[in-house]
Amino acid sequence: MATHDTEIESRIEGVLRRMAMLYGWSSLTVEAYRHDLFDFQAFIGGASTVFEANAQHVTGYLTHLQQRGLANSSIQRQRSALATWFHYLQNEKIRHDFPLQDVAKVMTALRLPKHMSEADVEALLAAPDTSKSKGIRDKCLLELMYATGLRVSELAGLKVSAINRRQQTLRVVGKGNKEREVPYGEEADIWLSRWFEVRSEQSAYVFPSRGGHITRQTLWACVRKYAQQAGIYPLPSPHVLRHAFATHLLNHGADLRVVQALLGHENIITTEIYTHVSRRQLHDEVNRSHPMGKRKIKRGM
């Protein structure tokens, strides 16, 4: 890390210590603020620092968080962290303005996940050219992503030792360092076998790259490439396949608690958003297929 970055981080740490004493923060609260401020600093880079950032920097950062697929509640929390930070700097006369003054508040209203139909998923999974080793790898990636609903980071860092081929399960360490076991189906197992047969690099990771594992960016590029080939628009992100996994399970009668466990959600309220998607699809299907759904009411009746 550059010396300049180290100096900025030291300054942030110093201010956070003073804020913690003033507000009586716990160590966990300090860690949360540290994470958000460092993430904001990484985003603005050499353009500014968290001490001098303006409204344009904040708006760009919040937009960046939305593009990363973060929930509105998470973005609102990070916006609140920045607001607390800049209010403190203003009160301490470290700066004389409040850059969030003209930044619109992020709404916390329910935002339904983007949807992929089962037909779209089938078209996506069929897109890779499996006559080549890279196509086999990509096919395996997509099959596992849809079969398990893993987060992007979980799939990218998946280790060979985490796979139980006999039971067809994956051992995943998710958010909060919580471990869960996720089953996968026959089709994903077939493509895992084919990938292990052709991959040239022996690695602890299922999907190796330059001595480590593939990146989140590689997964994003993979999904978008084959979605474009399959004619799926708007182009989905890997998160949308996770959403499809959950929604399609619920559509076919899976228990909400089971889906919660498979996704690694700590709170079932987070999982319940997919029941809203299922209900919306049900209404759309009725309106599209039922005679009364299509019927136009004449004026004056």
Q: Each residue of 166-223: pLDDT tens digit?
A: 999 999 988 778 899 999 999 999 999 999 999 987 899 999 998 799 998 999 999 9
Domains of the chain: 3-91 (1.10.150), 118-289 (1.10.443.10)
pLDDT the model gives residue 265 = 85
Catalytic entry in 17, 132, 134, 175: 175
pLDDT the model gives residue 113 = 54
Helical spans, DSSP H, in the chain: 3-23, 27-44, 55-67, 72-91, 118-125, 133-148, 152-156, 186-198, 216-230, 238-251, 256-263, 268-289, 291-294
pLDDT the model gives residue 197 = 95
Please, which pLDDT band fits residue 110 given cuts at 50, 70 and 90?
Answer: very low
* Nearest C-alpha neighbor of 169 from the set 249, 264, 262: 262
Please, which pLDDT band fits residue 112 given cuts at 50, 70 and 90?
Answer: very low
Catalytic entry in 68, 171, 216, 239: 239
Catalytic entry in 57, 137, 139, 242: 242
pLDDT the model gives residue 297 = 35
239 is catalytic: yes
pLDDT the model gives residue 104 = 62
265 is catalytic: yes
Mean pLDDT, range 117-128, rounded to an integer: 92
Furthest C-alpha separation in the chain: 76
**Which one-letter amino acid corresponds to residue 70?**
L
151 is catalytic: yes
CB neighbours (10 Å) of residue 198?
14
pLDDT above 50: residue 5: yes
Catalytic entry in 137, 151, 243, 248: 151
Please, which pLDDT band fits residue 288 given cuts at 50, 70 and 90?
Answer: low
pLDDT in tens, 220-262: 999 999 998 998 877 888 888 998 998 899 888 888 889 899 9
Mean pLDDT, range 13-32, rounded to an integer: 91
User: Is 65 in contact with 75 (CB distance < 8 Å)?
Assistant: yes
115 is catalytic: no
Mean pLDDT, range 85-105, rounded to an integer: 84
**Averaged pLDDT score across all residues of the chain:** 83
* Nearest C-alpha neighbor of 265 from the set 245, 288, 294: 245
Catalytic entry in 57, 137, 213, 265: 265
